[in-house]
A and B are shown apart, each in its own frame.
Chain A
Amino acid sequence: MAIAKRLFDAVVVGAGGSGLRAALHLAEAGLKVAVLSKVFPTRSHTVAAQGGVAAALGNSEEDNWHWHMYDTVKGSDYLGDQDAIEFMCRKANEAVYELEHFGMPFDRTPDGRIYQRPFGGHMQEYGRNPVQRACAAADRTGHAMLHTLYQRNVRARTQFFVEWMALDLIRDAEGDVLGVVAMEMESGEVMIFQGRATLLATGGAGRIFASSTNAFINTGDGLGMVARAGLPLQDMEFFQFHPTGVYGAGILITEGVRGEGGYLLNKNGERFMERYAPNAKDLASRDVVSRAMVTEIKEGRGVGKEADHLLLKLDHLGAEVINKRLPGIRDISIKFANVDPIQEPIPVVPTAHYMMGGIPGNYRGQVVAPGVSGAEEVVRGLYAAGECACVSVHGANRLGCNSLLDLLVFGRAAAQQIIEDLQREPHPKPLPGDAADRPLARLARLETQQDGESVAEVGAAMRRVMQAHCGVFRFGDLLEQGVARIKEVAARAAHTGIKDRSKVFNTARVEALELDNLIEVAMATMISAAARTESRGAHTRDDYPDRDDVNWLKHTLCFKDGPRLEFRPVHLKPLTVASFEPKARVY
Chain B
Amino acid sequence: MDQSFWTYFFVIGTFATYIGIAIWTRAGSTREFYVAGHDVNPVVNGMATAADWMSAASFLSMAGLIAFLGYGGSVYLMGWTGGYVLLALLLAPFLREFGKFTVPDFVGDRYYSSLARVIAVVCALFVSFTYIAGQMKGVGVAFSGFLGVDFNVGILIGMAIVFVYAVLGGMKGITYTQVAQYIVLIFAYTVPAIFMSIAITGSPVPQFGFIGNAAGTDVAMLEKLNTVVTNLGFTQYTQTTKSTLDVFCITAALMFGTAGLPHVIIRFFTVSSAQNARKSAGWALLFIACLYTVAPAVGAFARLNFIDTVNEATYIGDNENYEQRSADIIARGGKPVPVWYKDWEKTGLLKYDDKNGDGMMQYRGPNAPDGVANEVVPNRDIFVLANPQIAQLPAWVVGLVVAGGLAAALSTAAGLLMVISSAISHDLCKRTFMPGLSERQEMVIARVAAAGAVICAGLLGIYATQLPFVAQVVAFAFGLAAASLFPIIFLGIFWKLMNREGAISAMLVGLISTFSYIYYFKFGGGSSEQWFLGVSPEGIGFVFMWLSSAVGIVVSLATAPPPQEIQDLVEDIRIPGTRSAHGMAEGGMAPGE
Does A pair with B? no
Interfacial residues, chain B to chain A (CB-CB below 8 A): none
Interface residue ranges, A against B (CB under 8 Å): none
